[in-house]
């Protein structure tokens, strides 16, 4: 089990329904949505679940991505990723 | 007798290595193509990047008023000398910088490239040979003799039973396993574009480059 960051590129032009459908597939497979763009979704996903997401009819390709700390907006993206991730995580204490 | 050396020599090591190397090479090409496709997607995905948001705190003094009764106007509060009682209020003025389009690649999202490392081919072979021999020899001599008034007779018979059995079994079992490790590696420099971001409004002041 290894969770990596993936870019899930859309096959067609962006639409809310299509984007939601792909996001739903990611959530079904235990993934987390980090960022949504018009051409695709950046999500944290388990390696084993990648084929299932790639089989979605609106997905063109799924490829691993990394955040380059020297990128112009890497720190902002990191904050966005962390903020979106925190909204999807449930922390429970015993 | 079994010849272990001959059995080992019959294992097609060369073909196994070639097949594995060929499969790795094909997979590597497919992975690289996928990563390059990803570079294109990342380079074409733009978003409006707001470089900065400036929040300025400005003074906003106002006079304290007493809480009015229902339906009445508030009464401004004054001190004993009749001067109005002022407090230093503050307002926040927000200035959002002009957004400009930035690609995900420029922003810092890089595609992951993968590389096969440390491939192993393991062949296990078990050769078993057993040989059993059993021989039995049964030799018997029967002697009979009889004597009468005029005759005497005698007979001697012998028998030899020899049996031999040989059991010979020979078995060779083999198994092979192949394993390879796939590791993420930094993008090759020649595959990643270099970005130069220059503030055209004042090029001499700000010039940021990223490679």
Q: Where are the domains of chain A?
A: 3-88
Give the lowest-confidence range in A78-82, B23-27, B71-75, B132-136: B71-75
Cβ-defined contact of A7 to B197 (cutoff 8 Å): no
Cβ-defined contact of B107 to A9 (cutoff 8 Å): no
Based on the fold, state whether residues B141 and B63 are members of the same structural domain: no
Mean pLDDT for all residues in chain A = 90
Task: Give pLDDT tens digits for B197-210.
Answer: 666 666 565 555 55
Query: What percent of chain B shows pLDDT beyond 70?
Result: 89
Task: Give pLDDT tens digits for B139-152.
Answer: 888 888 887 777 78
Chain A residues closer than 8 Å to B38 by CB: 7, 9, 61, 63, 65
Residue B8 has pLDDT above 70, yes or no: yes
Cβ-defined contact of B108 to A69 (cutoff 8 Å): yes
Whole-number pLDDT of residue B11: 77
Whole-number pLDDT of residue B211: 45
Question: What span, in angstroms and rounded, lies between the C-alpha atoms of A6 and A46?
Answer: 9
Task: Give pLDDT tens digits for A6-44.
Answer: 999 999 888 999 999 999 999 999 999 999 988 899 999
Based on the fold, state whether residues B22 and B112 are members of the same structural domain: yes
Q: What share of chain B is helix, strand, coil (3-state, %, to 5)?
A: 20, 55, 25
Residue A52 has pLDDT above 90, yes or no: yes
Residues 102 through 161 of chain B touching chain A, CB cutoff 8 Å: 102, 104, 106-112, 114
Asked if this assembly's ipTM is beyond 0.90, the reply is no
Question: What span, in angstroms and rounded, lies between the C-alpha atoms of B59 and B92?
Answer: 9
Res. A85 pLDDT band, cuts 50 70 90: very high
Cβ-defined contact of B38 to A9 (cutoff 8 Å): yes
Whole-number pLDDT of residue B208: 52
Chain B residues closer than 8 Å to A61 by CB: 34, 37-38, 41
Would an 8 Å CB–CB cutoff place A66 in contact with chain B?
yes
Question: What span, in angstroms and rounded, lies between the C-alpha atoms of A39 and A7?
Answer: 10
User: What is the tally of structural domains in chain B?
Assistant: 2
Q: How many CA atoms lie within 13 A of B36 on its CB side?
A: 10
Whole-number pLDDT of residue B29: 92
The highest-level CATH class for domain A3-88 is alpha beta
Question: What span, in angstroms and rounded, lies between the C-alpha atoms of B109 and B103?
Answer: 9
Based on the fold, state whether residues B26 and B120 are members of the same structural domain: yes
Based on the fold, state whether residues B86 and B184 are members of the same structural domain: no
Task: Give pLDDT tens digits for B36-53.
Answer: 888 888 888 888 888 788
What the block records as the tokens of B170 is 């020979």
Cβ-defined contact of A64 to B195 (cutoff 8 Å): no
Residue B117 has pLDDT above 70, yes or no: yes
Domain that holds residue B10: 4-52+97-210
A40, B176 contact by CB (below 8 A): no
Based on the fold, state whether residues B63 and B45 are members of the same structural domain: no
């Amino acid at each position: 089990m290894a969770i990596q960051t993936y870019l899930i590129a859309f096959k067609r032009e962006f639409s809310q329904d299509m984007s939601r459908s792909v996001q739903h597939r990611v959530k079904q497979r235990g993934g987390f949505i980090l960022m949504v763009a018009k051409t695709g979704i950046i999500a944290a996903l388990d390696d084993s679940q990648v084929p299932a997401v790639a089989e979605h009819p609106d997905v063109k390709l799924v490829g691993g991505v990394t955040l380059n700390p020297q990128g112009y907006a890497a720190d902002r993206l990191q904050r966005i990723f962390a903020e979106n991730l925190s909204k999807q995580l449930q922390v429970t204490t015993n | 007798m079994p010849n272990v050396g001959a059995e080992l020599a019959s294992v097609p090591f060369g073909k196994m290595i070639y097949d594995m190397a060929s499969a790795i090479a094909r997979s590597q090409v497919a992975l690289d193509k996928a990563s390059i496709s990803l570079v294109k997607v990342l380079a074409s995905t733009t978003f409006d990047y707001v470089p900065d948001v400036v929040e300025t705190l400005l003074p906003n003094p106002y006079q304290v008023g007493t809480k009015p009764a229902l339906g009445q106007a508030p009464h401004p509060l004054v001190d004993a000398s009749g001067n109005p009682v002022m407090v230093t209020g503050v307002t926040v003025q927000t200035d959002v910088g002009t957004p400009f389009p930035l690609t995900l690649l420029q922003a810092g999202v890089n595609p992951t490239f993968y590389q096969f490392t440390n491939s192993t081919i393991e062949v296990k072979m078990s050769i078993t040979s057993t040989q059993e021999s059993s021989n039995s020899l049964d030799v018997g001599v029967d002697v009979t003799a009889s004597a009468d008034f005029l005759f005497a007779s005698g007979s001697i018979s012998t028998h030899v039973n020899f049996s031999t059995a040989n059991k010979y079994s020979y078995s060779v079992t083999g198994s092979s396993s192949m394993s390879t490790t796939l590791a993420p590696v930094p993008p090759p420099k020649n595959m990643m574009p270099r970005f130069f971001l220059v503030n055209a409004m004042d090029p001499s002041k700000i010039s940021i480059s990223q490679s």
